[in-house]
Amino acid sequence: MTGAPAPSSARRRLAQLSIRARLMLIGLAGLAGALLIGGFLLYAVLTTSLGRSVEGTARASAEQVALLVDSGRLPDPVPVSGAQVVQVLDAEGRIVTGSVTADRLTALVTPDERRRALAGEQVTVAGSRSGLSGRLMVAVVEAGPAVPTGRQFSVVAAAPTAVVEQSASTLRALLLWIFPLLLALLAVIAWRVIGAAFAPVESLRQGAERIDESSSESERLPVPPTRDEVSALATTLNAMLDRITAARHKQRAFVADAAHELRSPLASMRTQLEVAQRLGEGGDLPAELLADLDRLTTLVADLLILARADDAATTREAAQVDVARLVTDVCGRYAHARVPVRTTPGLAGRHLLTRGSGADLARALTNLVDNAVRHARSEVLLDADAVGHRLEVTVTDDGHGIPVEDRERVFDRFTRLDEARDRDGGGSGLGLAITRALVRRSGGDVRLEAAQPGLRAVLHLPTATAGTLPRSEAGVAVDARGELLVDGKRASVERSDEDGPAT
């Protein structure tokens, strides 16, 4: 047996609605209740008032006839106005006289109804007792003695209730039609009024949604011109954003300064270790320390990249980048990788243009390929294609993949999954964070999704039409020292160890 939903379930469903909808529903519920109670009271008062009016009319007629009975001047038939019915009954309930509209053989009321009417109770009878349609409201008044014998009489006067019934029916119809229409009209008005009241809140929400890591740090929430709670909230939130911006500036300055200051002692240490290694001093210790020094140097370089990528004041000149050529050239760097790295057939001959920094995109793509090479079982596949108004660059490996719940977390800085915590075989945990930061600087984004089997990294980049930006088709190469070259120039970023992970 199933019962009604629990109140807590109704409250949960109500809580899932917007504040605007909740306020409107609560207001309409209260208004509907008030209108219902008001309509019921109006109906009750009106019908009662009309009923008493009809009863009063019948009682007045009965009293007038009773005066005639008391004075012994009762005419036959009894004169009445309109559709009223009057009968004069003796103590045994027999008809003595009556109006033209009254039956002379059958009494209009039963003895019980006559007692109730004399007691002040409102009594109605069927109009068919007097050959009329509808119902009659009865009033009974005692009269007499009319003759010297001292006999008592009862004057029964009845008036039709058609006016009361018609008025009640009309009122019911009006209430049943007007109340829903009134509620619908008020619902529309309430929805618009509440929407106008919440317009500043929606403006705040949209402004807050626009502010993200890629937004200008000077962007703030719109402050309504009013002096209400919403305006105070916007001002408070903007002050909070100012404090967050100041804290981020301090953090970036610290990271950038620390990384910059570490480069000089690291270079000095490298020089001393290389000299010691060439002179044969220290045995195997210089070689072991050089490996750790390489890892530390890469980490410092990564921190500098992140600090510059986070700095909104540091911008790269936007130019057209041939994504197909970029992917093909990056793939060429991995001719001797642990697993084969290849592109889809026909990619080299295509022209897929985006706008951004060729160095940033080359470094981002290199990080993804490094990561795929490290985790792939047999091969890594690169591809690029136009999807709608955007370009998609994919790096697919057939490795073990990443669980769904970790695919966004790995973009956080210094995030390392359980299987990659061994720093001798893993990276610094900054590769994917650098990739996302660099791609977002070019107006794109990156995400991870499942492949069958393995993992697929997808770069989303904006498209660029020919002639809108300076031509700069990015070509990637490696010089004799193993440095990354973009368009024949050394890129301003250093890449991690080829066999190290980007995550």
Per-residue pLDDT of 44-96, as tens digits, reads 888 888 888 888 888 888 888 888 888 888 888 888 887 888 888 888 888 88
Whether the CB-CB separation of 475 and 487 falls below 8 Å is answered with yes
Which has the closest alpha carbon to 339: 383, 368, 369? 369
CB burial of 475-490 (b: ≥16 within 10 Å; e: otherwise) equals bbeeeeeeebbbbeee
- Encode pLDDT of 293-308 as tens digits: 777 777 777 777 777 6
- Encode pLDDT of 99-134 as tens digits: 888 888 888 888 898 888 888 888 888 888 887 888
Average pLDDT over residues 335-340: 90
We report the CATH number of the domain holding residue 306 as 1.10.287.130
Please tell me whether residues 296 and 203 are part of one structural domain: no
Please tell me whether residues 284 and 377 are part of one structural domain: no
What gap in Å lies between CA 59 and CA 52, rounded to an integer?
A: 10
CB burial of 80-96 (b: ≥16 within 10 Å; e: otherwise) equals beeebbbbbbeeeeebb
Angle at CA 312, nearest 5°, toward 310 and 313?
A: 125
Q: Where are the alpha helices (DSSP H) in 311-422?
A: 323-332, 358-375
What pLDDT, on a 0 to 100 scale, did the predictor assign at position 207? 81
Please tell me whether residues 350 and 364 are part of one structural domain: yes
What gap in Å lies between CA 150 and CA 144, rounded to an integer?
A: 7
Which has the closest alpha carbon to 252: 316, 213, 303, 212? 303
What pLDDT, on a 0 to 100 scale, did the predictor assign at position 379? 92
What pLDDT, on a 0 to 100 scale, did the predictor assign at position 368? 92
Last residue of a domain, one of 314, 344, 368: 314
The mean of the pLDDT values for the chain is: 79
Average pLDDT over residues 416-430: 56
Per the structure, the complete domain to which residue 178 belongs is given by 12-210
Which pair of tokens denotes residue 161?
A: 């209730």
501 belongs to a structural domain? no
What gap in Å lies between CA 291 and CA 497, rounded to an integer?
A: 11
What pLDDT, on a 0 to 100 scale, did the predictor assign at position 174? 85
What gap in Å lies between CA 113 and CA 111, rounded to an integer?
A: 6
Pairing of strands 135-143, 95-98: unpaired
Please tell me whether residues 183 and 86 are part of one structural domain: yes
What pLDDT, on a 0 to 100 scale, did the predictor assign at position 465? 59
Please tell me whether residues 370 and 483 are part of one structural domain: yes
70 belongs to a structural domain? yes
Average pLDDT over residues 262-282: 80
Report the 10 Å Cβ neighbour count for 386. 15
Report the 10 Å Cβ neighbour count for 207. 17
What gap in Å lies between CA 472 and CA 266, rounded to an integer?
A: 35
What pLDDT, on a 0 to 100 scale, did the predictor assign at position 438? 85
Please tell me whether residues 340 and 196 are part of one structural domain: no
404 belongs to a structural domain? yes
Which has the closest alpha carbon to 154: 71, 77, 87? 87
What gap in Å lies between CA 403 and CA 230, rounded to an integer?
A: 42
pTM attached to this predicted model: 0.49
We report the CATH number of the domain holding residue 365 as 3.30.565.10
- Encode pLDDT of 159-187 as tens digits: 888 888 888 888 888 888 888 888 889 88
Please tell me whether residues 97 and 202 are part of one structural domain: yes
Residue 26 has pLDDT above 70, yes or no: yes
Instruction: Say which residues have a Cβ less than 8 Å from residue 484's Cβ, sequence separation at least 6.
Output: 362, 363, 366, 476, 478, 490, 491, 493, 494, 495
Last residue of a domain, one of 271, 299, 314: 314
Name the E strands within 330-401: 341-343, 353-356, 380-387, 390-397
Angle at CA 469, nearest 5°, toward 387 and 307?
A: 80
Please tell me whether residues 100 and 188 are part of one structural domain: yes
Please tell me whether residues 267 and 200 are part of one structural domain: no
155 belongs to a structural domain? yes
Whether the CB-CB separation of 141 and 62 falls below 8 Å is answered with yes
Please tell me whether residues 328 and 440 are part of one structural domain: yes
Report the 10 Å Cβ neighbour count for 491. 19
What gap in Å lies between CA 426 and CA 423, rounded to an integer?
A: 5
185 belongs to a structural domain? yes
Helix (H, G, I), strand (E, B) or coil at 244: helix
pLDDT-derived band at 467, boundaries 50, 70, 90: very low
Please tell me whether residues 178 and 241 are part of one structural domain: no
What pLDDT, on a 0 to 100 scale, did the predictor assign at position 107? 86
Please tell me whether residues 301 and 349 are part of one structural domain: no
Q: How many domains is the chain built from?
A: 3
Give CA torsion, residues 253, 254, 258, 259, to 10 deg. Answer: -50
- φ, ψ at 190 (rounded to 5°): -65, -40
What pLDDT, on a 0 to 100 scale, did the predictor assign at position 149? 52
- φ, ψ at 448 (rounded to 5°): -115, 140
Sheet holding 484-486, edge to edge: 476-478, 484-486, 489-490
Last residue of a domain, one of 210, 239, 264: 210
More confident residue, 337 or 278: 337
36 belongs to a structural domain? yes
Which pair of tokens denotes residue 224?
A: 């309504």
Radius of gyration of the chain (CA): 47
What pLDDT, on a 0 to 100 scale, did the predictor assign at position 373? 92
Of 9-13, 71-75, 424-428, the least confident: 424-428
- Encode pLDDT of 137-161 as tens digits: 889 998 876 445 556 888 888 888 8
